[in-house]
Structure 1
Amino acid sequence: MKKRGYGIGTMWYGVGNTASNNPAGAFVEILDDGTVNVLTGCADIGQGSTTVLAQIVAETIGVCLADVAVVSADTGVTPDAGATSASRQTYISGNAVRLAAEKAREPILAKAAEILNIPIQRLILKQGKVWNGDQPTELTVKELITKCHGEGILTLGHGYFNPKTTMLDPENGQGNPFATYAFATQIAEVIVDTETGMVEVTKIAAAHDVGRAINPQSVEGQIEGGCAMGLGYALTEEVVIKDGEIKNPALSTYLVPTSMDVPEVYPIIIEELEPSGPYGAKGVGEPALVPTAAAIANAVTDALGIRIYDLPMTPEKVVAAIKSAKGKKSD
């Protein structure tokens, strides 16, 4: 018999290192031709941070994304940005490059204010031009850079960001260990075969508060990837150890989900702007994974009326739990 069930998993997650300093630095230089060089220690391990940091710099300076070149994670030339962990790089390195870009653009805005005789507070850089509020002026970023460099003024900036945290009180555990938090809720639909113990996850709806989605497509990819990882944690991935030796070191025995196993995932991006984040952004990396297994486990419970506490919920464990529940009823 096949039974359908639904389950919910909800989580909150602290972005960055717990109650400790974890700063990131960056350098930004605007060149004569209007292109921009960015030096950041942030290591892109596939999560797309290089693209996101380039977007933040492009937005801050008012140039095209294609005009921003990022050199990242080169210990010979880039400043420290801390580890790519704790879902911290968009939030922390994003702030670092934003602050560096703001420093680099200061001479440009100052020169524009001088030429236009307009208060600098009213000027912004956008689409390669200087804008007076919501009206473009005739001044371009490129010509202002040329004027600055001609006067020996460099359009160069550095910045760093270290989120404000408070150490935990050892006596009562109170404190403020993170500057911001990510929130998410996921709902899973499963079909459980009571004869074989197979659990099929058919759908996952995943709503994540990311502050602001700097790159919405990348955020959706993070959510979908996190759900796939959570699926493996819930149903298939188990390290078998006996006498200190891993007995399933190969992918033929340590079973990760394939494309055939991953269900329909419906990523829902919630944008509740984080005041301390770059343009309101915060992290989404690990939060995408955290609630998935709980949602699937709750869905299995809804389908069977049985709570399974041991992950992964392999077919053998599911069948054993069903038989155990039947035995208790017969007693």
Structure 2
Amino acid sequence: MNRVNAKQLVRRLSIILGCSLPLYSATAAENAQPDAQYSYQQAAPALPLWEAGLIGISINQLAYPGAAEQVQRSLIVPYLVYRGNWFRADRENLGFRAIKTDTIELDLGFAGALGAGKSDIAAREGMAKLGNLVEAGPRLRWTLTNDFLGARLRADFPLRAVFDINDSLRFNGVSFEPSLNADVISEAGIFYNLRLSTLFGSEQLNEYFYQVNALDATAERPEYDAKAGYMALRGSLSIGKRFSKNWRAFGFGRYEWTQGAANKQSPLMLNSGGWSVGIGVTYVFAESSRLAGE
């Protein structure tokens, strides 16, 4: 099984991102000659059909796109991953896969959603609290190639209904976040995921974050009528490594830009960008001997 070495990895990520990284110039990236035999599909390890364990994670994320404040969460919870051909429960989605070919997947399920869940956001003083949100709906995944300079490239098109779990699963609109993803595995077995996505929201979802009704208006927070449209551009990098049969570690960083957002004039849209970061570990205490896909 062929894997990229560290020098090839930096060069390839540099090309994928379309810019130079600190250790290598743009010229070096353009002149890189990757191993023609390497591909993500070859380097990806075989995974068990199911596994169970504990996950500990600490996250510091924006309360919502354009917020001036962040939400911090730390927790330890049990988890179960199942990688069946039709039913899947993994780190990205929980649901049923309706279509699967070598390049196209269509699934229907649940996933994490926009960050909120904070009651003391200064800009929203006196307004209804923002709850914790979950999403449900279809996702189309298109694998463009398994060997673009050693990386797997895929495009995701999730269309999701958004619900507030703190308010009896009240419906809060619809989100659509198409993304381009690059997955790379280094020679040392480190997994990298780079993602660029654009978030759009229905009028009801934008109202949830940016609407200011007459009763909530103040001298510093004028009345505002939110509308549907573009919410944010997001760029992220995730890194993960398995250190032993049982222990894994991971981390991520995401920056989102709200310049040009449909509701940039809202008094609740305070920043044009901001970071979200997180780190965590998992401990696997049981897994199947059968591999996924067998």
Shorter-chain TM-score range: under 0.3
- Structure of larger gyration radius: 1
TM-score relative to the length of structure 2: 0.23
Structure of higher RCO (CA pairs closer than 8 Å, 6+ residues apart): 1
Name whichever structure is richer in strand by fraction.
2
